[in-house]
Structure 1
């Protein structure tokens, strides 16, 4: 009779995969991930039938945590600028708090190893932000750009902001505000 799977082991494998991928990239061997997780490589494949399954589940796990951080108290009302500011600050704060997850999700996001279903599921926690962007574009508050393009601008500017905060934490607030200002100026109509 097969032993039941342990949530602790599954979580250890996901945490190890985050760390190893942040350090070595998506080509990191599963043997290394298993070693960091403290399990045998065969055990890794008991929990995830292939590396692609592991990568897809890792993406969803990181996106779920990011979604909780960003959307937990998201202001569904108020000005577009207030809501954009909230999303920006929560994303930057999450990325600074979890640099390995940030680096791993950046690699996973451009990987061809993720299924379209996984990508769609990973975006569900952010539906309110996407709706806000679409409504803001339609009403003329924001420039007429596809929401995915606006998200890419946010991601790029936020990544730069997070890198500067990591290098110079004493000036973190300055970088947060400067990044936000650049983001808002890039998307808002004048």
Structure 2
């Protein structure tokens, strides 16, 4: 019985990643299916935004609160939020706001995962803690997108349950340059 080769694993990872992106895009655009229509002014990159992420006509970085006014919490679809707030740029600042353990029994944190496979499976074995359960209080935890690379963010609480079942995960691939329209 032949085993699965390295190229088979790579193909499988590519298929799973593509499927995940299609699910995210379809969830973000679910209003098409349900008759909500498509509002080009809030969905296209050159239209006005629902939140503080708008076209930046300077070379200054944007500062975005993850989840907008909903902040970082269980049950919010952050993949859709990231899709709707694209594009992100190198040097943009993501702000994670969440209540500390002294204010809520539901603790949150922010981990950075090393790759798409870890992100897809919510595998925290090689994750890097970048904000503990207290750092989201007040002004929140600020993370600068310093490089042109993918960033995979998740909540690592409850052994990955918040990532798997609570949809507390998203990834971004910041662009290098801002285009002016």
TM-score normalised according to structure 2 size: 0.30
* Bigger Rg, structure 1 or 2: 1
Higher normalized strand content (fraction of residues): 2
Higher normalized helix content (fraction of residues): 1
